[in-house]
Every structure is written in C-alpha cells, then in structure tokens.
Chains A and B, each alone.
Chain A
Amino acid sequence: MSIEFKNVVKEYEVGLRAVDNLNISFEDKKLTILIGPSGCGKTTSLKMINRLIEKTSGEIIVDGTSLDEIDPIRLRRSIGYVIQEIGLFPHMTVFDNIAVTPRLMKWDESRIKKHVCDLLDLVNLEPSDYSEKFPAQLSGGQRQRVGVARGLASDPKIVLMDEPFGAIDPINREKLQDGFLEIQSKIEKTIIFVTHDIREAIKLGDKIAILNNGKLVQYADTMTVVQEPANEFVEDLLGADRALKGLELVRVRETYIPGGKWIEDSGDCRVKKAKDFLIDEGRKFAYVVDGSKRLKGYVMLKQLNKASDEEPLKKHLRSIETIQPLSNLMEAMSLIMNTGLSSLPVVDDKDRLLGILRFKDLVNLVGSYESSDEE
C-alpha cells in the first residue's frame, strides 16, 4: 500500500514545528528509510502513520483513504509496528507475544497457531524450541527477531519500524539486518524504517528520505542519495567515506571480469609448464584450477623461478581468499586489502572459478563517486 503525506504539520507547541509541511509519498512494497539527526521529525512522522501521534494539520492518505476516516484502534491493528526489543511483553511467552494482534482481531486459535509457527520459521527461530520461552530467556538478537515476527503477525500490508535494531551490538546487528533483508525479499511489505545509522540506511533501504528540522531534505533511491547528495547536509550525513559506503551497494557479479586464462592442474602438472605459461602471458602470478575448474590456489613466478622444472606444481601452490558473485564490493575490498594481490578470484558455491575481480576496477568505481562530488 502506498502512503502519501500532504502538507503534514505537527506542532507540539504553537510555533514549534516537529514536522513542517511534509510532502512525501511512500511507495508500495518498498522499504523506505527515514533518517536524520535526533529531533528531525523522523519518529514523529512515523508515529503519525499509525496515529500514535495525531498530526496538527495536513492529510495522510493510505491507499486512497484519509487516515482521519479510519478508527485508530482498527488502523493500528492493520499496521505492523516494531520497536526496540524492550517492547516485548515480559509476562507473555514468545508465542503469546506474537499472537497479541491476531487475538485482538479475534482470529480462531488454530489459524493463530499455524500463523505464529510460520512467522517463527520466517525469522529463523525454531517454533518447537522458542514458542514457550519468555523474553527474559532469549538473547537480545532473538528478542528482536520475535519483535519483527510480532510486527508481521496481523499480516499487515504496512510495517512501521522505529530503530528496531538500535539496541543490538554491532556484530549481531549486521546479522539481523542480513536476516531482515531476506525476510523483506520474501514478504514484500511497504516498510517505513526509522534509523539514525546511515550504514543501516544504505544497506536496507530501497529509498531514503532525509529529514532535518521537520523538513524533507532529499528523497530518492538509495544509490542516487549516495552518488548525488542534494546538498552539504546530506553529504555530512553520509560522512567522509561515503564513496566507500557506495561499495556496499554494488555486488561482485556486476563488477567482476568473467573468464580468463588459468593454469589447469589435474594433479600431474610440473613447474615448467606453469613457468612457461606465466612468461608467455607476461604475468607475475596465476590461479590454478583442477580438471573440473575448481580453484586450487595460485602460484607466483618469483617462487617458481627458484624451483626446478620437474617438480610437481602442487608443492608451490598458495591458498587464497575467494569471493562469491552475490557478495558486495565492500567485503571484496577488505579481502583484497588483506591478501595484497591485485585481484580476487570469484568462485561459485562449488568453488569453481568464474572470473576475477580487479582492485583497479574498485578504485575506479570509488573515484567515480568522488568525482560526482566535485561537479
């Protein structure tokens, strides 16, 4: 469902506008991020959608219907709401927590039971292990996943998320975000997601809306925001390393060079053959694959020069980090930095060599973001 804000104003005190004439249209089945410094009106805007906060003037239209015409209790039951983990009810089991809204909507128990189990599966918690646990018995990350499941419990078309991963430590936050991306690809809801973490915004958002002092500063696709920040405020928000952050958005499969020449070693290859290959190609090193194109490692000319020609090549193989086509360039960049080579082998899930990702290309990509900065 699409959500449209028309000249929406929220005044807590006369003259003090938390949200100042906001016009924005949230697209159907997209994850839109609301981001900005604290006090920018992002949470206020979010809570006006389920009428936890009543707007002062203007209009919010959900799928053609003005919010004012919908009973707030009914409205809230039809919209998912996820907040930080503290919002779970401690006296209820995981099952009962998730079942709250379906029960308010008077679904029958057998339907609720099936639905809750499906939701627990969706957030990767085994229903038989977790249904009867209490929030206090779960880790922070698990609690948050229950929170997400609870937000989806009434099968809402719209889900509002208010810094849902804010209280989680960085490592688990990454995991939750990855899990959440997977969930969103399955459920395709219209999600409005408030955060103050720009990395989270870039990672999760289809679109990003940047607010400051209650006003919309920029609203565009995530890539556009990263590449073409509307003004200095957005640039500052993105931070000095925004060019590098852009790498998180691009997958290896869009950048690597498929195919290439490699040394094939079915087990009986001698040093001589590899040396000849490297000299002919004018290269300092080369990847070695076996008969079925599985990557074995790489050899360096410098080292082979010291070896005798008839030695088996196996002895001089060095192992190397690999990357898969669906990983993002940020991960690739840090792997390349670690290995110190000028390229990274791209392999499929069976370790078959598909091609290479060149450091040069990454550098060019970062350069292209930076040059758009100077325009």
Chain B
Amino acid sequence: MEVLEYMVENSGYIMERFLEHIFIFLASWSMAVVAGIAIAIFVTRPGHRKAGKLVLSITGATQAVPSIAVIALVFLFMGIGAAPAVVALFLYSLVPVVFNTASGLMNVSMKMKEAAKGMGMTNRQILWKVEMPVTVPTMLSGIRSSATINIGTAAIAASIGAGGLGEIIFTGLRMTKGPMIIAGAIPVTFLAIAVDIILGFSEKALTSKGLRT
C-alpha cells in the first residue's frame, strides 16, 4: 500500500527517472550490439584465427567480473555523470554480444563454408548469406541477455550519478525507506521483462525455420 502511495504521489519523478533509465540503456546497449557484432566478425575472419581465440577467452573471463567493478573502474577514469555510466554499461553489455556472435561464427562448419566458396560466393557473400544467418540464433540470444544485464546494471550505475531508476533505489537505501526501494525496483524489473519479451519475439521472427528443428 505504502509503495503504491509513494508511486502515485511521485509519478512525475518516477516517470522522469524511468525515461532516463531507458535512455541510458538504449544508448549503451545499441552501441554494444553494433560494436560487438563488428568485433566478432572481425576476429573470426580467416587470418585472424588467433585473435578470435584470444577475444573469446577474454570475453569469456570478463563475464565473471562483477558489474560494480566495471562501473567503479570507469568512474576512476571519467568521474561521475551519465556519460561514464553509458561507457561502463557499453563495456559490460559488449561481452555477451561478442562472445555469442564470435562463438557462433566459429562454429559454422568448415564444410559448409567450403561448399559456399566452391559454388562461387565471394568472402563477403559467404559471410552475409551463410555464416551470419546460421549464427543468428546464437547471436540474438547474446543480444538478448546483454539487454537484461544492461537494464539491471543501469540501476547500479546510479551510484556514480547516472540518474535513472537506480536513483530512487539508492535514495531509498540511504533513507532506509523500504517502499521507496521497491518503487524503484518494480519499474526496473518490468522494463527488463518487457524488453526480454520483445527481443524474444524478434528472435523467433529473425531465425530461419530451418534452424529451429
């Protein structure tokens, strides 16, 4: 009851933080998706095999680093505000995108690539007509988990002055006001679930039927 009361009373404030949260998420996540796919493609091109393996082990290991550590590190170099938060979130959500896309691309069978080459595809055509479509399911699940991780971590980024829904939670924490903490946590959760559902649908729509069996 108290939570609901707080939310109704402060609906304007919560809405502002909510939009801020979405902005931080979209800015950092979309950059991470684009950069992540590009990095994954680059390191999996023939001739970059060693780089590919290295990137896979680095990203694999980085997934175990706690998000708060990444945020703290970026804070050391960039100070407080929304910009360092976006950078930290970008770095943190880059990892699953690179990891999944690169491992997907590396697992495309040699035989299949050779068939494509033997049929007269250029390297670029092999990438876009064969390798990427086959990698889509793995890549999208990386993009999807990167989004949920990003939204959750964005709440923590409020600790370096990024704003967003995390601000409500941290304020509640300092004032030991339970309802306030919950009023901040609920929209974060909703946002994460909603984004996950939307991405789930697009994952289905973008994956070839031939890969679903």
Q: Measuring CB to CB, which residues of chain A are less than 8 angstroms from any residue of chain B? A: 50, 52, 73-78, 81, 83-84, 86-93, 100-101, 104-105, 134-137, 150, 154, 160
Q: Which of these, A92, A93, A137, contacts B213 with CB under 8 Å? A: A137
Which residues of chain A are within 8 angstroms of B130 by Cβ–Cβ distance?
89
For B123-156 the 0/1 string (1 means CB < 8 A from A) is 0010001100110100000000000000000000
C-alpha gap A137/B213 in the complex (Å): 8
Query: Which residues of A lie under 8 Å from residue B111 when comparing CB positions?
Result: 83-84, 86-87
What chain B residues lie within 8 Å of A154 (beta carbons)? 120
* Pairs A-B, 3 closest by C-beta atoms: A134-B210, A77-B120, A87-B115
Are the C-beta atoms of A87 and B112 separated by less than 8 Å?
A: yes
B50 within 8 A of A: no
| Inter-chain contacts of A93 with B (CB < 8 A) | 210
Contact A76 B117, beta carbon cutoff 8 Å: yes
Interface residues as binary, B186-212 with A (CB distance below 8 Å gives 1, 0 otherwise): 000000000000000000000011110
- B112 and A89: CB pair below 8 A? yes
Q: How far is the CA of A89 from the CA of B114 in the complex (A)?
A: 11
Interface size class of B (residues with CB under 8 A): 20 to 34
- Is A91 in contact with B133, judged by CB distance below 8 angstroms? yes
Q: Looking across the interface, which residue of chain B has its beta carbon closest to that of A91? A: B208
B120/A92 in contact, CB under 8 A: no
Taking a contact as CB atoms under 8 Å apart, the answer to whether B120 and A90 are in contact is no
Give CA–CA (A92, B116) in the complex, Å.
Answer: 13
Would you mind naming 8 contact pairs between A and B with Cβ atoms under 8 Å apart? A52-B114, A74-B120, A84-B111, A92-B208, A100-B129, A134-B208, A134-B213, A135-B210
Given A52-B114, A87-B111, A87-B112, the answer on whether A73 and B120 have CB atoms closer than 8 Å is yes
Q: Which residues of B contact A52 (CB under 8 A)?
A: 114, 117-118
Most buried by A among B121, B133, B209, B210: B210
- Which positions 96-116 of chain B face chain A at CB distance < 8 Å? 109, 111-112, 114-116
Chain A residues whose CB sits within 8 angstroms of the CB of B211 once the complex forms = 90-91, 136
Interface centre among B117, B125, B136 (most CB of A within 10 A): B117
A242 to B78, CA, bound (A): 80
- The reply to whether A83 and B118 form a contact with Cβ atoms under 8 Å apart is yes
Q: Check if A101 sits within 8 Å of B120, measured CB to CB.
A: yes
Chain A nearest CB, measured from B118 CB (Å): 4
Most buried by B among A89, A91, A92, A93: A91
CA distance A143 to B148 in the complex (A): 40
**Hey, which chain A residues are within 8 Å of B114, CB to CB?**
52, 83, 87
Contact between B213 and A104 (Cβ–Cβ < 8 Å)? no
